């Protein structure tokens, strides 16, 4: 992508550092996983993020450079990156924040990028002011709001909890699609209803079928049967694939199926390198044609 080309897919959010149980740092964050998905589905892709990765060693900086070969990254300066530890306890994620990179300034988006085909607002840690999204005018606006629901101590160190989602109605009226997980669903009921009344909302549920609300219809799309090795980023890959395919005018059913396959293929291996290509998803569906999804009325 040249300096004069707008990305077809722009993700905005922190590229984070996730610490594994043994302390090993790896790159993560919704913006990274979804942008890699879009890139591997064939789109010109970029990320606007904020952080400073030099303190986490040569491995992290090399990984960032590696992914920058596929995705253009605008990195706003900070003293530190956003760093999480994630631990699964009784099937639920317990998360700790160790440092925070700060707010992303949406005025830092190049003017000709603000009308990209797809813009994905992808906060992981309260890094985006929802009111600033009014500066954007994409062809398709996708949102994964988990970062707006996360709470932590004022010191920016300590355990992370979830609180209710509160988004301005002006922003919600412009959202074409939103993806949340089952735990976030109960904290975002008003926003889900507002978006689903005119657009699309997907609720991912791990190994259970994803529920997709599409203007009064409820469609259940099953996950694919795989052995999960690392489920980090699965929902982000689902969101990235769903946004790309719906922006390309694929049907909700077809887009949901492909997004579910992309997420399933991702979790069979470790880390962002395991994000699949469009061809891998299509090949899987050729060998494993899906059955009919379940439909019902809702809202």
Cβ–Cβ under 8 Å, residues 263 and 240: no
Q: Please give the DSSP secondary-structure letter assigned to residue 54.
A: G
Contact 233/275 with Cβ under 8 angstroms? yes
pLDDT of residue 3: 52
* Reported pTM: 0.94
Q: Residue 292's pLDDT is what?
A: 56
Backbone angles phi, psi at 217, to 5 degrees: -105, 145
Domain ranges of the chain: 9-297
Q: What mean pLDDT is reported for the chain?
A: 93
Burial of residue 96, with CB atoms counted within 10 A of its CB: 0-12 exposed, 13-18 middle, 19 or more buried? middle
Instruction: Evaluate the CA torsion angle 244, 250, 251, 257 in order and state its sign.
Output: negative
**Rounded mean pLDDT for each run of 10 residues along the chain, 299 residues in total:** 79 96 91 98 98 87 95 96 86 88 94 96 98 95 98 93 96 97 96 95 95 93 92 96 98 97 96 96 93 55
- If 0-12 CB within 10 Å is exposed, 13-18 middle and 19+ buried, where does residue 262 land? buried
Q: What is the pLDDT at residue 215?
A: 87
> Residue 153 has which token pair?
């101590």
Overall fold of domain 9-297? 3.40.1190
What per-residue confidence (pLDDT) applies to 86?
Answer: 86
Residue 144: C-alpha distances to residues 20, 95, 114, 196, 295 (Å): 23, 18, 18, 14, 24
Beta bridge partners of 265: none
Helix (H, G, I), strand (E, B), or coil: what is residue 287? Answer: helix
Specify the pLDDT at position 90: 66
Q: What pLDDT, on the 0 to 100 scale, is given for residue 289?
A: 87
Q: Which two tokens stand for residue 189?
A: 């009921």
DSSP-derived 3-state class of residue 55: helix
Cα separation values, 185 from 55, 162, 204, 291, Å: 36, 11, 9, 26
| Amino acid 297: pLDDT | 52
Q: Tell how strand 25-28 and strand 45-50 pair up.
A: unpaired
pLDDT single digits (tens) 45-91? 999 999 999 877 788 999 999 999 999 999 999 999 999 998 877 66
What number of other Cβ atoms are within 10 A of residue 59's Cβ?
A: 12
∠ CA 230-224-93 to the nearest 5 degrees?
A: 35
Q: Return left, alpha or beta for 40; rule: phi > 0 is left, psi -120 to 50 is alpha, else beta.
A: alpha
CA of 29: how far to CAs of 82, 85, 197, 236, in Å?
Answer: 9, 12, 28, 8
Q: SS3 sequence, 102-137?
A: CCCCHHHCCHHHCCCCEEEECCCCCCCCHHHHHHCC
247, two tokens? 């922006």
């Amino acid at each position: 992508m040249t300096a004069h080309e707008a990305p077809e897919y722009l993700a905005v959010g922190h590229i984070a550092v996730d610490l594994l149980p043994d302390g090993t740092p790896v790159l993560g964050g919704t913006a990274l996983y979804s942008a890699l998905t879009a890139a591997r589905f064939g789109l010109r892709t970029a990320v606007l993020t904020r952080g400073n990765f030099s303190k986490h060693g040569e491995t992290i900086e090399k990984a960032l450079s590696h992914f920058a070969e596929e995705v253009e990254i605008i990195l706003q300066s900070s003293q530190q990156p956003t760093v999480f530890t994630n631990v699964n306890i009784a099937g639920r994620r317990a998360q700790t924040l160790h440092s925070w990179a700060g707010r992303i300034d949406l005025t830092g988006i190049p003017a000709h990028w603000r009308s990209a085909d797809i813009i994905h607002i992808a906060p992981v840690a309260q890094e985006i002011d929802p009111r600033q999204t009014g500066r954007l005018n994409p062809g398709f606006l996708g949102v994964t709001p988990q970062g707006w629901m996360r709470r932590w101590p004022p010191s920016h160190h300590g355990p992370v909890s979830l609180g209710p989602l509160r988004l301005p109605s002006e922003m919600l009226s412009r959202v074409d699609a939103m993806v949340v997980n089952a735990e976030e669903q109960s904290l975002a009921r008003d926003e889900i209803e507002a978006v689903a009344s005119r657009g699309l909302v997907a609720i991912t549920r791990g190994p259970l079928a994803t529920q997709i609300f599409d203007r009064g219809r409820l469609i259940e799309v099953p996950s694919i049967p795989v052995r999960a090795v690392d489920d980090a980023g699965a929902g982000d890959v689902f969101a990235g694939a769903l946004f790309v395919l719906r922006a390309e005018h694929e049907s909700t059913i077809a887009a949901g199926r492909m997004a579910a396959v992309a997420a399933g293929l991702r979790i069979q291996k470790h880390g962002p390198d395991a994000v699949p290509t469009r061809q891998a998803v299509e090949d899987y569906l050729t060998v494993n044609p899906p059955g009919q999804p379940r439909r019902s009325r809702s809202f």
